[in-house]
Amino acid sequence: MADGHLITSDGPLEPPSRVLVVVAHPDDVDFGCAGTIAHLTDLGSHVAYCLVTSGDAGDDDMTVPQVELAALREAEQTAAASRVGVTELHWLRRPDGMVEAGLELRRDISRVIRLVRPDVVITQSPERTWDSVYASHPDHLATGQSTLDAVYPDARNPRAFPELLAEGLSPHTVPDVWVFSREGALFVDITDTFPRKLAALKAHASQIGKMDDLETMIEDWGSRIAKAGSLPAGRLAEGFRQVRTV
Which CATH number fits the domain that encloses residue 46?
A: 3.40.50.10320
Residue 175 placed within a domain: no
Residue 174 placed within a domain: no
* Domain of residue 117, residue span: 13-162+180-244
Residue 157 placed within a domain: yes
Query: What DSSP letter does each residue of 184-231 carry, written as one string?
Result: -SEEEE-TTTHHHHHHHHHT-HHHHTTSSSHHHHHHHHHHHHHHHTTP
- Neighbouring CB atoms inside 10 A of 101's CB total 18
Number of domains in the chain: 1
Q: Tell me: pLDDT of 1 over 60.
A: no
Residue 108 placed within a domain: yes
Task: Identify residue 197 by its one-letter amino acid code.
Answer: K
Q: Is the dihedral of CA 17, 18, 23, 29 positive or negative?
A: positive
Residue 5 placed within a domain: no
Residue 152 placed within a domain: yes
Contact predicate 60/22, CB 8 Å: no
Residue 8 placed within a domain: no
Sequence-ordered alpha helix ranges (H) in 43-86: 66-82
Q: Tell me: pLDDT of 77 over 80.
A: yes
What is the model's pTM?
Answer: 0.95
Q: What is the mean pLDDT of residues 160-176?
A: 98
**pLDDT tens readout for residues 181-223:** 977 789 999 999 999 999 999 999 999 887 789 999 999 999 9
